[in-house]
């Protein structure tokens, strides 16, 4: 009999706030977390706005002596993991430590550390480089540090698949539990790269919005006036459990993971093919893995980055997968409020989707004011919607043509 996997804990830190309640309230209210960049002087940049995580003190989550040993993305992962485990009312017992794993990814990792230590090298020489430089920046150290803190001795892995990272991490963790290599997984994604080099790099690609005078209106997925994405930061972590394990301890269950899909475009390093072939195949695989027909999906948390090409291609792919029913499916992009967390996006958006399923409430796509003929679906414009959500699909697509999708199911339905 195939092992079933459920979500019992959520941990969210994002530009909307620190903690699940703060994030959910912001999402349902349609509040934007985007504002002017304060981390550095962005005066000479084409894009001068971002979704910064305000009010975050690493020492609230990491001991003072360890803060400098970890890059910011790890701080975010530690905070979100702590929130998620407390939300799940779960702690790792020594007797089952080898059945508890961690799978947390980051799309870029410790770029802030690289920038700082490179400056140190140039100004003070190699002897002044921190001995914690390497272990503080490599992508798998988010999983490593979480594993160490909580004594989780099961599979300890990381994904690095650009903007699909968090969803791949959760999907792969789901598979680990299904094949009986663990009973519990702490999984998700994190990112903290609102830095001069990262913002400058995306500006050079002309990928970012330049709506600097209206930062809260800059991220506008599927709207005709969209002009690029807005970089965000934070983390989203979920606690996955084998169903029997969760039931035996009386855990609250947000949703069941019913299906997972992964695909590759084999097309271009940053652009999707016009026909949306990769997104089409990944959605179909996730839905097929869930054992349902496309008609069962009530809600899609779209990748929806607010780029002109990406949003049009995703809309086209949804129409290919869902056919005549496509316009009856609620589709929203929460990146309209959080910005794009890159490797952290899939983790955050899976947590959001789980809440949508659990609470029968769908967050809106804000800043949707001018319809685009190429984007003609129901994007839940500007106001949250109460509706029954039995099955929901979460999409994530990344540079390199890497795609991931999850189907979440209402527990007990």
Alpha-carbon distance of 287 to 259, in angstroms, equals 6
- 118 catalytic? Reply is no
Quick one: what percent of the chain has pLDDT higher than 70?
A: 100
- Residue of 168, 340, 358, 375 with catalytic role: 340
Distances (CA, A) of 23 to 14, 216, 352: 7, 16, 9
Alpha-carbon distance of 151 to 148, in angstroms, equals 5
pLDDT score, position 2: 86
Mean pLDDT score of the chain: 97
- Residue of 75, 168, 303, 358 with catalytic role: 303
Say which residue the tokens 């606690």 belong to: 239
- 168 catalytic? Reply is no
305-364 per-position pLDDT tens digit: 999 999 999 999 999 999 999 999 999 999 999 999 999 999 999 999 999 999 999 999
Q: Across residues 225-241, what is the average pLDDT?
A: 98
pLDDT score, position 326: 98
Distances (CA, A) of 7 to 97, 217, 246, 352: 19, 33, 9, 12
Give the DSSP letter of residue 393. Answer: E
End-to-end CA distance of the chain: 19
Which residue ranges form the domains of the chain, and what is each CATH number? 1-413 (3.40.47.10)
Single pTM value for the model = 0.98
Q: Across residues 269-293, what is the average pLDDT?
A: 96
pLDDT at 413 over 80: no
- Token digits for 248? 């035996």
Name the pLDDT band for 298 (thresholds 50, 70, 90): very high
pLDDT score, position 1: 74
pLDDT score, position 412: 85
Q: Across residues 229-233, what is the average pLDDT?
A: 98
Any alpha helices (H) in 263-398, and if so which ranges?
277-289, 308-322, 335-338, 345-359
Q: How far is CA 271 from the centre of its chain?
A: 20
42-83 per-position pLDDT tens digit: 999 999 999 999 999 999 999 999 999 999 999 999 999 999
H/E element, 172? helix 165-178
- 303 catalytic? Reply is yes
Pick the closest to residue 183 from 117, 93, 315 (CA basis).
93
If you write DSSP's letter for every residue of 7-45 in order, what string do you get?
Answer: EEEEEEEETTEESHHHHHHHHHHT----EE--SS--TTS
- Residue of 163, 198, 203, 375 with catalytic role: 163
pLDDT score, position 117: 97
pLDDT score, position 292: 98
pLDDT score, position 159: 97
pLDDT at 3 over 80: yes
179-225 per-position pLDDT tens digit: 999 999 999 999 999 999 999 999 999 999 999 999 999 999 999 99
128-186 per-position pLDDT tens digit: 999 999 999 999 999 999 999 999 999 999 999 999 999 999 999 999 999 999 999 99
If you write DSSP's letter for every residue of 182-223 in order, what string do you get?
Answer: -SEEEEEEEE---SHHHHHHHHHTT-B---TT-GGGT--TT-
């Amino acid at each position: 009999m195939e092992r079933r996997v459920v979500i019992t804990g959520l941990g969210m830190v994002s530009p909307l706030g620190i903690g699940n309640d703060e994030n959910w309230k912001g999402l349902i209210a349609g509040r934007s977390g985007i504002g002017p960049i304060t981390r550095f002087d962005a005066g000479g940049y084409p894009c001068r706005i971002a979704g910064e995580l305000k009010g975050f003190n690493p020492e609230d989550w990491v001991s003072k002596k360890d803060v400098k040993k970890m890059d910011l993305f790890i701080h975010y992962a530690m905070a979100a993991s702590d929130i998620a485990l407390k939300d799940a009312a779960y702690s790792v017992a020594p007797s089952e430590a080898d059945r508890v794993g961690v799978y947390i990814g980051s799309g870029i990792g410790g770029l802030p550390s690289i920038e700082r230590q490179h400056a140190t090298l140039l100004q003070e020489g190699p002897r002044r480089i921190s001995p914690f430089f390497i272990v503080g920046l490599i992508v798998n150290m988010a999983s490593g540090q979480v594993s160490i803190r909580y004594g989780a001795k099961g599979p300890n892995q990381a994904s690095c698949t650009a903007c699909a990272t968090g969803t791949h991490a959760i999907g792969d963790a789901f598979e680990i539990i299904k094949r009986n290599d663990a009973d519990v997984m702490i999984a998700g994604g994190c990112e903290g790269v609102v830095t001069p080099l990262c913002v400058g790099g995306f500006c050079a690609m002309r990928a970012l919005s330049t709506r600097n005078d209206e930062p809260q209106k800059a991220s506008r997925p599927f709207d005709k006036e969209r002009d690029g994405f807005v970089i965000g930061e934070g983390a989203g972590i979920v606690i996955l459990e084998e169903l029997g394990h969760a039931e035996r301890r009386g855990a609250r269950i947000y949703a069941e993971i019913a299906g997972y899909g992964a695909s590759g475009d084999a097309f271009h390093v940053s652009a999707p093919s016009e026909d949306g072939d990769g997104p089409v195949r990944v959605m179909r695989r996730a839905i097929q893995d869930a054992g349902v027909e496309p008609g069962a999906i009530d809600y899609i948390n779209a990748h929806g980055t607010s780029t002109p090409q990406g949003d049009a291609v995703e809309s086209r792919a949804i129409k290919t997968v869902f056919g005549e029913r496509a316009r009856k499916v609620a589709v929203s992009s929460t990146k309209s409020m959080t910005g794009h967390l890159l490797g952290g996006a899939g983790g955050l958006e899976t947590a959001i989707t789980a809440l949508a399923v659990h609470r029968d409430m769908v967050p809106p796509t804000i800043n949707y004011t001018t319809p685009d003929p190429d984007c003609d679906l129901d994007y839940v414009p500007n106001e949250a919607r109460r509706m029954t959500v039995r099955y929901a699909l979460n999409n994530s697509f990344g540079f390199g043509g890497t795609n991931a999708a999850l189907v979440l199911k209402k527990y007990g339905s």
